[in-house]
Copies of this chain bind each other. A is one copy, B any other.
Amino acid sequence: MTPEPFPPDARVRSLRMRVRYGETDKMGVVYHPNFFRFFELGRTEYLRDAGLAYAELERRGFLLVVTEAAARFHANVGYDEEIVIRTTVHSMGRASLRFVYAVEDAAGRLLCDGSTELACVEAARRRPARLPPDVVSLLRSTQGHPTGFSSNMNESVT
């Protein structure tokens, strides 16, 4: 699979974080498989903003299983630097979903882009399942809106 470009009219969810010490490797920068972890964080917050906590979907008996993942790495980023994970839905099938991602530094420089294909699976029988209709509706409602949106924070200080 080739990472897809961001659809021009996509609704994008941006998640801002700092790189953790344990996410670096001996090169002094983020260890590349961790970008796939960042993609997941972006996806989780995208879904939460759309009104769908992924944890809730699992409680309802569904899993979204990654069936394909691809990334291109353009520039390094070091410990404690701020990154922004931009996420959007690229396309939806009856039982699958494709997200695209762009990870940028605080200055907007592209560090990594990529995409993941997810299959909806019935947890009990580990078999493919149609995306629940309310999930489809929620995700459709996030498409076609070119502005970003924000929500409750994933991490904060009290």
Contact = CB atoms under 8 A, between A and B. Distances in A.
Contact of A154 (B17, B73, B152): B17
Nearest to A66: B32
A24 interface: yes
Given A69-B71, A155-B153, A41 B26 contact: no
A8 interface: no
Contacts of A126: 76
Chain A contact surface mostly: mixed
B67 A16 contact: no
Nearest to A41: B20
B150 A153 contact: no
B26 A78 contact: yes
Interface residues of A, number: 57
Contacts of A53: 80
Contacts of A158: 14, 16, 84, 148, 150
19 contacts: A15-B155, A16-B157, A17-B154, A18-B154, A20-B40, A21-B25, A21-B26, A22-B33, A25-B25, A26-B26, A26-B27, A33-B33, A65-B73, A150-B158, A151-B157, A153-B153, A153-B155, A153-B157, A155-B155
Interface of A: 1-2, 13-18, 20-22, 24-29, 31-34, 36-37, 40-41, 44-45, 53-55, 58, 63, 65-73, 76, 78-80, 84, 126, 148, 150-158
